[in-house]
Amino acid sequence: MPLFFLIPLFTGLATGYLSKKCDREIAYLIGLFTIISLIFSLILAPWQIQLMLLILALVSSNRLLQE
């Protein structure tokens, strides 16, 4: 299984961490880059990981709807 999707994922997480220490305007731009890189990493992820995330989202939404 190729792990190329981890590169934008870790880049996005690192920039998200750095955005907490920046000014407001720069933090918005960094936050936008973080969201784009996380979406890009989900697109590049193998289907097994995408299926696991989909099942996790469905199970958690069912628990929230039951409460």
Residues 3-62: pLDDT tens digits?
A: 777 888 888 888 878 777 777 777 788 878 888 888 888 888 888 989 998 999 999 988
pLDDT at 59: 92
Nearest in space to 3 (alpha carbons), one of 35, 43, 46, 62: 46
- Place 67 in a pLDDT band, splitting at 50, 70 and 90: low
Distance, CA of 48 to CA of 1 (rounded, Å) = 10
Tell me the two tokens of residue 41.
Answer: 């990493």
Establish if 31 belongs to a structural domain: yes
pLDDT at 66: 79
Distance, CA of 13 to CA of 40 (rounded, Å) = 13
Establish if 1 belongs to a structural domain: no
Nearest-5° Cα angle at 31, 7 to 8? 5
pLDDT at 7: 84
pLDDT at 52: 93
Q: What is the DSSP letter of 28?
A: H
Q: Domain count for the chain, please give it.
A: 1
Determine the structural domain holding residue 22 and report its residue range.
6-66
